[in-house]
Amino acid sequence: MMNLTSRPSAARRSQSGITLIGLLFWAILISVFALILMKVFPAVTEYRTIQSMVNKAARDGGSTVHDIRTAFDRAASVEYGVTSITGKDLEITKEDDKVVVKFAYDREIELMAPVSLLLKFQGQSK
């Protein structure tokens, strides 16, 4: 005859896994992170495009302030999605016989109705 007490019963076995509340918590957390990432990614891409345009304008734009601003505006008209800055917003100086172009701008991104995210970008030519 078989002894039934030697086998653990199904009710006494410990269960492992995630609860429904835990699943909902992680789903909401991942969704909020994905929302923020999807809203911020275009702004960062625009910043990188502006940085490369500033480097090119400083290197190949010319020797006068007007020429560099015109070169930047010409490149901005060709590039897709550069709307945060224009040639008038550039600060152009000369350091050690080298043209240095600096820029700074703010970008406000609305996440949900009352909540916004403010990104401050700045950079200069290399």
**Helix (H, G, I), strand (E, B), or coil: what is residue 76?**
helix
pLDDT at 28: 95
Provide the residue-wise pLDDT of the chain in tens; the chain has 126 residues: 555 555 555 566 777 788 899 999 999 999 999 999 999 999 999 999 999 999 998 888 777 889 899 999 988 888 887 888 988 989 988 888 888 999 999 999 998 889 899 999 999 988
Q: What's the predicted TM-score (pTM) here? A: 0.76
CA atoms within 13 A on the CB side of 40: 12
pLDDT at 116: 92
Residue type, 51: Q
pLDDT at 15: 75
- Which contiguous run of DSSP H or E holds residue 30? helix 20-60
pLDDT at 39: 92
- Which contiguous run of DSSP H or E holds residue 42? helix 20-60
